[in-house]
Amino acid sequence: EAASRLLARAAVGEVDAVVLATATPDHLCPGTAPALAARLGLGTVPALDIAAVCSGFVYGLAVCHGLVASGLYERVLLVGADVYSTWLDPADRSAGVVFGDGAGAALVAAGRSGDPGELLAFDLGSDGTGYGLITVPGGGARARASERPPAPDDGFFRMQGGTVYQHAVERMTGSCRLLLGRVGWDPAEVDRFVPHQANARILHAVAERVGIAPQRCVTHLERVGNTGAASIPLALADAAGRGRLRSGDRVLLTAFGGGLTWGSAALRWPGTPGTICTDSMEGTQHVAPR
């Protein structure tokens, strides 16, 4: 639905490819992106899933950036969607009150350097030694190949909250600092800081350590919870709808998720949600969340 609304508002030409960031696909096999493309009436365009959990939207932006910068495609539809209610343990109140279901979409296309909407730089990382800190133990090939019989709760989401908090704050802070240095922004020059909407303590801790004032931090989780890969586009759309984003604003995105994965992106806000710049210039991409 989010992607359909975006496409209806954009009306700027055909979509050449689809990237879906989700940790809750319809099935273990096949990927969900081809089915999404078909439901959107996009025909036989290439479509792929990204399983970077809560970092999925930032990872997806980087993938779409690369697809356009390489000249392979002119316009790529990025969707971040997660349905956490399907894997939460009803007996686990610690997780059940934190997570929500949601979806958000963006169009990434070629444009002119310096125009609003320009994707400027990325920083991505992972640490597989923390693989088990955020997980759904059952259902995958490893569990199926194990001689141990599955436990009744293996299909539910599990997270080691205290340890994850420490990793999230450290990784997002480091990623933001590195990226700010790369694009030459002082923290005080960031107009809007949009972190993955994990929880308020993490958001405030990262903003404080990076040196970004609280009033510049965009939050949405108090109304919808942690919606995984959908949290950043939903927060952006909400902020735009409430007039907190202006064309050309310097925007810093950052996220942390299972894997462990993390990533940050710097961009200039494109203006009205649902519009994109389509003037062609290799290596320059523009994003229009909705």
What positions carry a catalytic annotation? 54, 196, 226
Cα–Cα distance measured from residue 120 to residue 12, given in angstroms and rounded to the nearest whole number: 22
**3-class SS of residue 194:** strand
Q: Do the beta carbons of residue 180 and residue 155 sit within 8 Å? A: no
Q: Do the beta carbons of residue 87 and residue 139 sit within 8 Å? A: no
Between the alpha carbon of residue 66 and those of residues 71, 77, 108, 283, the distances in Å are 9, 13, 10, 8
Cα–Cα distance measured from residue 275 to residue 288, given in angstroms and rounded to the nearest whole number: 6
Cα–Cα distance measured from residue 210 to residue 116, given in angstroms and rounded to the nearest whole number: 24
Question: What are the residues whose beta carbons fall under 8 Å from the beta carbon of 196, sequence distance 6 or more?
Answer: 54, 55, 58, 172, 226, 231, 232, 254, 255, 256, 257
Looking at the DSSP bridge assignments, the partners of residue 78 are: 19, 106
